[in-house]
A and B are shown apart, each in its own frame.
Chain A
Amino acid sequence: MTGIDGESILVERAKNGDHKAFEDLIKMTGDKIYNLGLRLLHNKEDAADIMQETYIAAYENLPKFKGASSFSTWLYRIATNFALMKMRKDKGKKVPEERLKELSKNAYDTAITDWAESPVDHLKKQELKEALDRAIESLPPKYRSVFVLHDIEGMSIAEIADILSISQGAVKTRAHRSRLYLREKLSEYFNERARKGMMSA
């Protein structure tokens, strides 16, 4: 049984006390929720915790689930909220929101290097991922969640607005600012790499 229809049937069965149906729902959606946790928190233990908290909350609140959105979207909402709580506890240094606002006003005013065609070999991929993850972690939680849901999970503006209970305009603004900030951080990474490459040449 696959797809949204299969999901709705399992949800109905689970609501009627069929434990096996709830376990099947976990099987069906588990990868999505685990990956969402990993992508938001960059840590396997935290992703496992998010998964556990999400399904326990979903199980407890199943009678309240009315099917206004799909079961998966409902799970995403629960998981994102748990992840946001964890992110807010993290005292790591965050880029001030003012800086993100400034960037979206002034980025066109700075020198732009087009590094889009820069090659990334296998060995450098991990280094690049670490640089990018550090940058994503330095985004304030409300920006980080939008960036991950939109640009990594591939969700639409409308879906994210629904999941985070914010306006579509707010989603667009946060997505734009996050992209500009991460673009700037990757520019720094590629410029630094080019500089080191020139020095060792």
Chain B
Amino acid sequence: MNRHFTCEDIFRLLSGYIDNELDTLMREIVEEHIKECERCLSLLHTIEKTIAISRETHRKKKVPKKVVNRVYYELRIRYKR
């Protein structure tokens, strides 16, 4: 089925594949290709891992109370609330 799809074609589809933006046919084409192509599979894995590391190293923090208080203070001063 993917005879006409080169690594270059698949490579362009990888982000769409990760984001679940491909239709069923294109998804199957990518899946068929990466079953046989180690290079594209490695690219897919390392892109996914890049995203996972980015999320993991930027976990949500609580906003410090003094930062929120500064916003309240600024609003009260500026608008004489």
Interface residues of A (CB under 8 A from B): 19, 22-23, 26-27, 30-31, 33-35, 38-39, 47-48, 51-52, 55-56, 59, 104, 107-108, 112-116, 120, 125, 128-129, 132-133, 136, 147, 151-152, 154, 157, 172, 175-176, 179-180, 182-183, 186-187
Contact (Cβ within 8 A) B11 A108? yes
Chain A's interface: helix, strand, loop or mixed, by majority? helix
Q: B36 at interface (Cβ–Cβ under 8 A)?
A: no
Known contacts: A125-B57, A151-B54, A186-B46. The answer to whether A52 contacts B71 by CB under 8 A is yes
Q: B42 at interface (Cβ–Cβ under 8 A)?
A: yes
CA distance A39 to B7 in the complex (A): 33
Contact (Cβ within 8 A) A115 B46? yes
Instruction: Provide a sorted-by-A list of 27 A–B residue pairs whose CB atoms are within 8 angstroms.
Output: A19-B81, A22-B75, A26-B71, A27-B68, A30-B63, A31-B60, A31-B63, A33-B63, A34-B67, A35-B63, A52-B67, A56-B71, A56-B75, A112-B46, A114-B41, A114-B45, A114-B46, A116-B42, A120-B53, A147-B54, A157-B21, A172-B15, A172-B16, A176-B12, A176-B14, A176-B15, A187-B46
Instruction: Give the Cβ gap from A135 to chain B, nearest Cβ, in Å.
Output: 10
Contact (Cβ within 8 A) A179 B68? no
Q: How many residues of B contact A (CB 8 A)?
A: 42
CA distance A176 to B43 in the complex (A): 12
In the complex, the chain B residue whose C-beta lies closest to that of A168 is B21
Chain B's interface: helix, strand, loop or mixed, by majority? helix
Residues B1-60 near A (CB distance < 8 A): 7-8, 10-12, 14-16, 19, 21, 39-43, 45-51, 53-55, 57-58, 60
Choose one: A48, A116, A175; the contact of B49 (CB below 8 Å). A116
Nearest 4 A/B pairs, CB to CB: A34-B63, A114-B42, A116-B45, A176-B15
